[in-house]
Structure 1
Amino acid sequence: MSGTPVSAIRNLGPAFEDACTAAGIPDAESLRALGAHEAYRKLLLAGQRPHFIGYYVLHMALQGRPWNDCKGAEKDALRAQFDGLKAETKAPAQSALDKILNEIGVIAKPEQR
């Protein structure tokens, strides 16, 4: 039985739900259990491009707050966390096509180049 759709959470729409599914986060319950920071880590590791607004919107959404409620010191602290996460998960940019070609062995994996 599947859980509540991610898009049922205020401020999170179908595109974000698709990204979560691709990152192995199947439902709202799983997203809430991971928390915003770890969920965003999974999104980055699954190939999503880092975007600070998306990061803080996710934090606000999981707190049930409007997306634009993040301001001042709270926003500055989230920016520092986001920058750290982005640095930790930085990998060479790879297009979806390159990823598929790597998986089937057509082109060398980035660490072999």
Structure 2
Amino acid sequence: MTGGKLRYKQPGMTDPVSSIRNLGPAFEESCARAGIHSAQELRDLGADAAYEKLLQNGQRPHFIGYYVLVMGLQGRPWNDCKGEEKKALRVKFDAIKARAHDTGRSEFERMMNLIGVREA
């Protein structure tokens, strides 16, 4: 209460990533390393762009992690992903992984890119 008036926090604006269903502290930490610091930022990016950003920042690709994120952003339990929906998400995951995860790049190169050293 401020000055006799109740102030309501708009949901999601400063809520932590872990406030989203299915997403815990480890995922929240990965998001922070990728520059995603709130549930709203994650929602605004959407599952595909957020997951691509995670991969670009060193997160190892894992299909279950991707579809847990998708389900969480939809407010659904992680194990709700089945059948044709799961197959379609696998296709999207493979495309994101192909774009964002360079298996030929060393950890050293990735760190150099993170701090701003550019390839010639």
Task: Bin the TM-score by the shorter chain.
Answer: 0.7 to 0.9
The structural deviation recorded for 1:30 is: 0.1
2:37 counterpart SS class? coil
- TM-score if structure 2 supplies the norm length? 0.78
- Please list every run of at least 4 consecutive aligned residues from structure 1 whose deviation after the TM superposition is greater than 6 angstroms: none
Matched, 1:94 2:106: yes
Identity across aligned pairs (percent)?
A: 59
1:34 matched to which residue of 2? 45
The code of the aligned residue for 1:94 comes to S
Report how far residue 90 of structure 1 moved: 2.8
1:32-60 deviations in Å (ceiling 9; x for gaps): 00000110000000110000000000000
Task: Find the counterpart in structure 1 of residue 92 from structure 2.
Answer: 81
Larger of the two Rg values belongs to structure: 2
Stretches of structure 2 that go unaligned for 5 or more consecutive residues are 1-12
Q: Which amino acid aligns with 1:55?
A: Y
- Aligned CA-pair RMSD: 2.2
For the 8 Å contact 2:22–2:78, the answer to whether it is kept is: yes
Gaps of 5+ in 1: 104-108
Q: Cα gap change, 1:102/1:30 in structure 2, threshold over 3 Å: closer, same or farther?
A: closer
Query: How far apart, CA to CA, are the structure 1 residues paired with 2:110 and 2:43?
Result: 30
Q: Tell me how many residue pairs correspond in the alignment.
A: 104
Task: Tell me which residue corresponds to 1:106.
Answer: none
Higher helix fraction (1 or 2): 1
Structure 2 residue matching 1:35: 3-state secondary structure: helix
**Aligned positions of 1:27-66 closer than 5 A:** 27-66=38-77
Counterpart CA distance in 1 for 2:52 and 2:30 is 12
Q: Which fold has the larger relative contact order, with Cα–Cα distance below 8 Å and residues 6 or more apart in sequence? A: 2
